[in-house]
């Protein structure tokens, strides 16, 4: 609206806002392309495996081992993968998932009581240089937050961008992660 982003359009209609943070992972690429902004981002497939829910609390934190990371959800599922960088599913994703499940069972005392539930393959956003892309897009009213580790960094990034948007505090931490570091791509 008048050269400024003033909200979003959803399947349920228009949502107006004085400012928008675009945090749509790979979906950010086509959205920014409508304004001729190239976002240097690609996707990498990642495999995550879930156990059936268990009442036993195996983990109270994120656990990272060589070639394996895992966490337990509040409803008791243990969610795990081979690598934070993507955990490639390979040519046989089901076989890969079953192999990982076998590894997880060996990590825990009574791990043989865990039951396999399912696996998912997602596509993780991966900035060209491997670092998050945060802050101004060059369009007034639109900030960007895209990174491989979105869930891990969401609280910090949300806080930094909220301070920038609401109070005008542009924390120096954001400096190295701006879109304009890809000078040929940014409108800035």
pLDDT value at residue 3: 78
3-state secondary structure at position 133: strand
* Domain 7-40+128-181 fold: FAD/NAD(P)-binding domain (3.50.50)
Residue 151 has pLDDT above 90, yes or no: no
Domain chopping of the chain, boundaries: 7-40+128-181, 43-125
Distances (CA, A) of 123 to 25, 89, 146: 9, 11, 13
pTM, entire model = 0.76
User: Strand 142-146 vs strand 20-22: parallel, antiparallel, or unpaired?
Assistant: parallel
Sheet with 41-51, strands from edge to edge, namely: 63-65, 68-72, 78-81, 41-51, 116-127
Q: How far apart are CA 132 and CA 145, in angstroms?
A: 7
Least confident of 80-84, 94-98, 169-173: 80-84
Determine the distance from the C-alpha atom of residue 11 to the mean position of all C-alpha atoms in its chain, rounded to a whole number.
22
* Average pLDDT for 184-188: 54
CB contact at 8 A, 30 and 146:
no
Where residue 86 falls among pLDDT bands split at 50, 70, 90?
Answer: low
């Amino acid at each position: 609206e008048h050269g400024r982003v003033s909200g979003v359009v959803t399947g349920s209609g228009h949502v107006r806002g004085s400012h928008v943070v675009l945090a749509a992972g790979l979906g950010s690429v086509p959205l920014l392309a409508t304004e001729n902004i190239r976002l240097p981002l690609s996707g990498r497939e990642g495999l995550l495996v879930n156990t059936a829910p268990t009442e036993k609390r195996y983990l109270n934190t994120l656990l990272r081992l060589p070639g394996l990371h895992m966490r337990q959800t509040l409803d008791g599922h243990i969610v795990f993968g081979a690598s934070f960088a993507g955990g490639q599913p390979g040519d046989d994703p089901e076989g890969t998932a079953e192999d990982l499940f076998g590894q997880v069972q060996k990590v825990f005392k009574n791990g043989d009581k865990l039951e396999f539930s399912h696996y998912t393959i997602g596509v993780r956003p991966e900035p060209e240089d491997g670092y998050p892309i945060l802050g101004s897009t060059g369009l007034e009213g639109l900030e960007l937050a895209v990174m491989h580790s979105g869930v891990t960094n969401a609280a910090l990034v949300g806080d930094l961008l909220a301070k920038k948007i609401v109070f005008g505090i542009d924390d120096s931490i954001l400096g190295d992660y701006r879109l304009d570091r890809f000078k040929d791509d940014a409108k800035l």
